[in-house]
Chain A
Amino acid sequence: MLITCPYCGPRDVIEFTYQGDGNRERPQPASQNLDAWNAYVYDRLNPAGDHNEIWQHSGGCRAHLRVVRNTITHEILSTAFARGGHKSADNRAEGRS
């Protein structure tokens, strides 16, 4: 599997660390809404198809990427810096602002 890091270009998956479901929304730090925290900490999507994920280029530039991956075909549909909260699948890779 190749993941295209916006900094480093296409790299083998062994250079990356999976950092979880990219659909999680962290509640405001002071929030006491336990349901929201519970959803953030424990609820994960498990789609058979396109999935929003966070990967870290841990064996490279260490940037966190928002990756849309098809869990059936392992196709990487898009990659973008996670910084700035880009979420949609068709976001083009952008430079770090």
Chain B
Amino acid sequence: MSPRRTEIGGRIDRLRTIRFTFDGAPYTGHAGDTLASALLANGVTLFGRSFKYHRPRGLLAAGVEEPNALVTVLRGEVREPNIAATMVEIYDGLVAVSQNRTPSLAWDISAINQLGGKILSAGFYYKTFMGPVIGPLKGTRFWMFCEHFIRRAAGLGKAGTAPDPARYERMNAFCDVLIVGSGPAGLMAAKAAADQGARVILADLEANFGGSANWSGETIDGMPAADWALRTVGQLEGNDNVRLLPRTTVWGYYDGNTLAALERVTDHKEVAAKGEPRQRYWAIRAGTVVLATGSFERPLVFPGNDRPGVMLAHAAERYVNEYGVLPGQRIALFTNNDSAYRSAVAFKKAGAAVVAIVDVRSDVSNEMRRLASEAEAELLAAHAVIATEGGKGLTGLKVQRFDAMSGALSGDERSIHADSLLMSGGWSPTIHLASQAGAKAEWDPARQAFLPPKPTQRWPNQQWVGAGAFTGGFSTAEAIAEGRAVGLQAAGGAVSSAPLPVVEVAPGDPDPAPVFEIKAKGKSFVDFQHDVTAEDVRLAHREGFVSVEHLKRYTTLGMATDQGKNSNVPGLAIMAEALGKPIPEVGTTRFRPPYTAVSIGSLAAERFGDLKPERLTPMHDWHLANGARMYSAGLWYRPMIYGLAGETVEQAYVREAKATRESAGIVDVSTLGKIAVQGPDAAELLDRVYTNMFSTLAVGKARYGLMLREDGLAFDDGTTWRLGDQEFLMTTTTANAGKVMQHLEYFLDVIWPELKVTVTSVTDEWAGAAIGGPNARAILASCVTGTAVDNATLPFMGIVHGRIAGIPVMICRLSFSGEMAFEVYSGAGYGTHVWEALIEAGKPFGLVTYGLEALGTMRIEKGHVTGAEIDGRTTARDLHLDWMLSKKKPFIGSAMMDREGLIGSDRLELVGVIALDNRALNGGGHIVEELDEANPHGSLGHITACCYSPALGKYIALALVKGGKARHGTRAFVSDPLRNRFGPIEIVSNHFYDPDGSRMHG
């Protein structure tokens, strides 16, 4: 028998023994144990070392709010740090280790930090490490020196570096009523709502539904409360309209009653069942949310309150009643309220000696005095604990007379021998989710607690109702009555007068004495996990950090992984006292999601790796099969080069571009945005959105168009083809296809609803191939049927319809490369078929396939602009496209394009740049008049695109440079300190190659 396990009692399965290890030592426990209860049963008192001072720490709580007993759970290569031992269900083979200790939990060298306690007080980092260097021991540089050691010494668990092999899942759920918390209030609400036929989800972060019913020792409907909970769950289980989610923490409350929850599906299992994810993220949309999240018991703040063996009274009661584990044999209680007296009786019944009940109040009721004598405990009314004794476990405590009104201590100190001190500082409703939903907590002076406000109409999207201890009704009878009432209300049912389950009336007053802290000598902890003491809070006050938000950040109170679940109210109370203000005037910080830590894996779920969808052109597989090296352009994948063995990228694109200019080349242009513009007002729409005229365009012709934004800056360019009187095919740049579509839709829908036009994205319906070069026309002539392609039939910017290899195609003679070139469009499904026919027809002419690098090279040689130059800052004039600005009509951007700032002489304008040192240039490199490598300055502009030009035999670039055309023929320098590229350049026209267009006009 384990040293602390009781002979009988508890909800554990004593017939099933489970083996696990903690810090390498083997232990056993029973099915139903948590790591905390099993270790406690084995006599373990030391669970962790504190954050800053490395003080030994034991269990404070039994549930999710545990601040001290944080462990790392190891599963194979994966380590998950900072999990509360109280939330780890044991399974065979569980491996857990303690944290923040070197070399071991029992002998931790950093415990020496306790001696330096005064130095490590609030604001230590700010005071020591901020600001200029003053001598060797101050300043930011000193921090950089110390950081390594401090990061090792102060901190919690360490995350692993191995990839997480676990699978996570994401689920969406919809319900009429979501009930958060499954104590008596939550169970009653679920039952009432389900009986009304509502779709109900009941979620609880614990493994077993029932909440306090599992350990309260109360009787409901004539049976133990835990059995009543089981029975109620059983009644819910079979219903189609009820989904039960145990081990599920509802951690976020978002707009429109959307809640986020994390279900720990297999963390408690030795082996996951087939197909089970480790954890499941639930996005729940609820009609109404019932918050039945209960309340947390508060610690009292007194010297030595963090010593292992000091625990919350009801946590201890839970260990006794739910797990059959006694936290000690000689138990003392320290309380400011009545709730601890019933716990005392429970400890007595379980076989412990209750040596004393220390109560700060002088007026203890007769009922409580009777409970104290039932527990055979000495009652020390109007007393307080002023110190605790012991090393890694409690051996005793000291008490003194205490006046609850003034907080004064008096009389002789008295020592009490005890191995367990259980405290109760009152109760704080778990209002986190309500706070997340926007509700401002209200201080209740009687309950000494922040209560959720009554839901108001101000937050009509956040339809929640509360029940049970969450509302400040701390008795089970209230929980049951409220639970049923809100369950009916949430499900739209009528108020019921049917009898409620009968609960014995709990004796005692729910209101505690307003005592939070006993001021005596020694460290009194407020935030256990972050080692924030009462003195730290007062120091923050003295140094002027008096707003609760500043207090929180300066002291880090409530900023640890437990997010102040224990420390919030005591911390505020101490600050309020320091300020001489009542607590409600000090206020409380707003709780934010998540309620407890959430694994990143569950948020990502199946969405990991490259999250972008891939857009592939119809010819994608052909490119891969024919040696293309692909890269991504937005969502698209496009060939960069079709490299030959041993070729560099530069060698490949130079070869491809050269071959195109010498004979012919073909490139996949299916990615261009394509929008069908149709309707009686199609031409009118185009006149309004393009800077130039389209209504004058003849059917069967295409025209290059430029769009501006409303603010007059350049937006996008492309050719638009008039296929019929009322039908156009607009092409856009690959990158802006979506934006242009949205732009057109916005104007048609919002601004010009009178225009009879429809716009349809047809990007994916067409496959496009651009074939260019001196032999391009001959290649087409050899494979196109049904139309001629000669200059008369197919002039520059003309459009013809024909067939290639039996497939209907549409051919437009336009050129991006500057060569005699054609764009051949076919239905996407025949893209590869047509492409292959073109390749076959090109074989006698030495047709090459070329990728984006060669495409870019040829466009730089021609000085055409792309998104690199239409960068959202340039105007049409900057890009020498002002010839496209029609003066005959208004168009989008026409009113704003000539504003003062957009026509100044100092604007960056498009120019060409030639490297005079015959070395490659880089995009982003700056152009300067005088080179100063040590102190780069005086930028005239920057390079937007660069390449080696096979046509010129030089490294060239396009650039946006102040002065623009005026600098043509002048010399300057490129200054690119990032890549250490400096050198002389010549500024020239952006039209490097064939400026009069004789090649493409043929």
Whether the Cβ atoms of A29 and B688 lie closer than 8 Å is yes
Q: Would you call B745 an interface residue if the criterion is a C-beta within 8 Å of the partner chain's C-beta atoms?
A: yes
B711 and chain A: residue at smallest CB distance: A41
Given A73-B460, A74-B256, A83-B753, A27 and B746 contact (CB-CB distance below 8 Å): no
Q: Would you call B542 an interface residue if the criterion is a C-beta within 8 Å of the partner chain's C-beta atoms?
A: no
Q: Name the A residues within 8 Å of B745 (CB-CB).
A: 56, 62, 64
Scan residues 242-267 of chain B and give those whose CB is less than 8 A from a CB of chain A: 255-256, 258
Whether the Cβ atoms of A56 and B461 lie closer than 8 Å is no
Q: Would you call A37 an interface residue if the criterion is a C-beta within 8 Å of the partner chain's C-beta atoms?
A: yes
Contact of B746 among A19, A32, A38 (CB under 8 A): A19
Q: Mark B448-483, 1 if CB is under 8 A from A, else 0.
A: 000000000011110000000000000000000000
Contact of A37 among B438, B742, B891, B895 (CB under 8 A): B895
Q: Is the interface of A mostly helix, strand, loop or mixed?
A: loop
User: How long is the Cα–Cα vector from A58 to B688 in the complex, in angstroms?
Assistant: 23
Q: Would you call A30 an interface residue if the criterion is a C-beta within 8 Å of the partner chain's C-beta atoms?
A: yes
Q: Would you call A75 an interface residue if the criterion is a C-beta within 8 Å of the partner chain's C-beta atoms?
A: yes
Whether the Cβ atoms of A40 and B742 lie closer than 8 Å is no
Whether the Cβ atoms of A54 and B895 lie closer than 8 Å is no
Q: Would you call A1 an interface residue if the criterion is a C-beta within 8 Å of the partner chain's C-beta atoms?
A: yes
Scan residues 54-77 of chain A and give those whose CB is less than 8 A from a CB of chain B: 54, 56, 58, 62-64, 73-75
Q: Would you call A88 an interface residue if the criterion is a C-beta within 8 Å of the partner chain's C-beta atoms?
A: no
Q: Mark A36-48, 1 if CB is under 8 A from B, else 0.
A: 0110111000000
Q: Name the A residues within 8 Å of B255 (CB-CB).
A: 1, 13, 74
User: How long is the Cα–Cα vector from A83 to B755 in the complex, in angstroms?
Assistant: 11
| B256, B438, B895: most-surrounded residue (chain A CB, <10 A) | B895
Q: Would you call B899 an interface residue if the criterion is a C-beta within 8 Å of the partner chain's C-beta atoms?
A: yes
Whether the Cβ atoms of B749 and A83 lie closer than 8 Å is yes
Q: Name the B residues within 8 Å of A27 (CB-CB).
A: 895
CB distance from A35 to the nearest CB of B (A): 11
B891 and chain A: residue at smallest CB distance: A29
User: How long is the Cα–Cα vector from A87 to B742 in the complex, in angstroms?
Assistant: 21
Whether the Cβ atoms of A73 and B711 lie closer than 8 Å is no
Q: Name the A residues within 8 Å of B899 (CB-CB).
A: 34
Q: Name the A residues within 8 Å of B750 (CB-CB).
A: 19, 54, 64, 82-83
User: How long is the Cα–Cα vector from A27 to B896 in the complex, in angstroms?
Assistant: 12
Whether the Cβ atoms of B895 and A26 lie closer than 8 Å is no
Q: Would you call B890 an interface residue if the criterion is a C-beta within 8 Å of the partner chain's C-beta atoms?
A: yes
Whether the Cβ atoms of B895 and A31 lie closer than 8 Å is yes
Whether the Cβ atoms of A73 and B458 lie closer than 8 Å is yes
Q: Would you call B108 an interface residue if the criterion is a C-beta within 8 Å of the partner chain's C-beta atoms?
A: no
Q: Name the A residues within 8 Å of B746 (CB-CB).
A: 19, 54, 56, 64
Q: Name the B residues within 8 Å of A73 (CB-CB).
A: 438, 458-461
Given A62-B745, A83-B750, A75 and B895 contact (CB-CB distance below 8 Å): no
CB distance from A80 to the nearest CB of B (A): 12
CB distance from A38 to the nearest CB of B (A): 8
CB distance from A93 to the nearest CB of B (A): 15
Q: Would you call A84 an interface residue if the criterion is a C-beta within 8 Å of the partner chain's C-beta atoms?
A: yes
User: How long is the Cα–Cα vector from A40 to B688 in the complex, in angstroms?
Assistant: 17
Q: Name the B residues within 8 Å of A56 (CB-CB).
A: 742, 745-746, 749
CB distance from A3 to the nearest CB of B (A): 9
Q: Name the B residues within 8 Å of A32 (CB-CB).
A: 895
Whether the Cβ atoms of A29 and B256 lie closer than 8 Å is no
User: How long is the Cα–Cα vector from A16 to B438 in the complex, in angstroms?
Assistant: 24
Q: Name the B residues within 8 Å of A26 (CB-CB).
A: 751
Whether the Cβ atoms of B896 and A58 lie closer than 8 Å is no
User: How long is the Cα–Cα vector from A75 to B460 in the complex, in angstroms?
Assistant: 7
Q: Would you call A91 an interface residue if the criterion is a C-beta within 8 Å of the partner chain's C-beta atoms?
A: no
Given A37-B896, A41-B896, A64-B745, A29 and B890 contact (CB-CB distance below 8 Å): yes
CB distance from B781 to the nearest CB of A (A): 42
Q: Would you call B389 an interface residue if the criterion is a C-beta within 8 Å of the partner chain's C-beta atoms?
A: no
Q: Name the B residues within 8 Å of A17 (CB-CB).
A: 742
User: How long is the Cα–Cα vector from A31 to B742 in the complex, in angstroms?
Assistant: 24
CB distance from A9 to the nearest CB of B (A): 13
User: How long is the Cα–Cα vector from A2 to B258 in the complex, in angstroms?
Assistant: 9
Scan residues 63-120 of chain B and give those whose CB is less than 8 A from a CB of chain A: none
Scan residues 321-354 of chain B and give those whose CB is less than 8 A from a CB of chain A: none
B458 and chain A: residue at smallest CB distance: A73
Q: Name the A residues within 8 Å of B742 (CB-CB).
A: 17, 19, 56, 58
Q: Name the A residues within 8 Å of B986 (CB-CB).
A: none
30 contacts between A and B (CB under 8 A): A1-B256, A2-B256, A13-B255, A17-B742, A19-B746, A27-B895, A29-B688, A29-B890, A29-B891, A32-B895, A34-B896, A34-B899, A38-B896, A40-B710, A41-B711, A54-B750, A58-B742, A63-B749, A64-B746, A64-B750, A73-B459, A73-B460, A73-B461, A74-B255, A75-B460, A81-B749, A82-B749, A83-B749, A83-B753, A85-B753
6 shortest interchain CB distances as A-B pairs = A29-B890, A64-B749, A1-B255, A74-B255, A83-B753, A82-B750
Q: Name A's B-contacting residues (CB within 8 A).
A: 1-2, 13, 17, 19, 26-27, 29-32, 34, 37-38, 40-42, 54, 56, 58, 62-64, 73-75, 81-85
Question: A56-B742, A74-B461, A83-B753 provided; 20 other pairs, C-beta below 8 A?
Answer: A1-B256, A1-B461, A19-B746, A19-B750, A29-B890, A29-B891, A34-B895, A34-B899, A37-B895, A37-B896, A40-B710, A54-B750, A56-B745, A73-B460, A73-B461, A74-B255, A75-B461, A82-B749, A84-B753, A85-B753
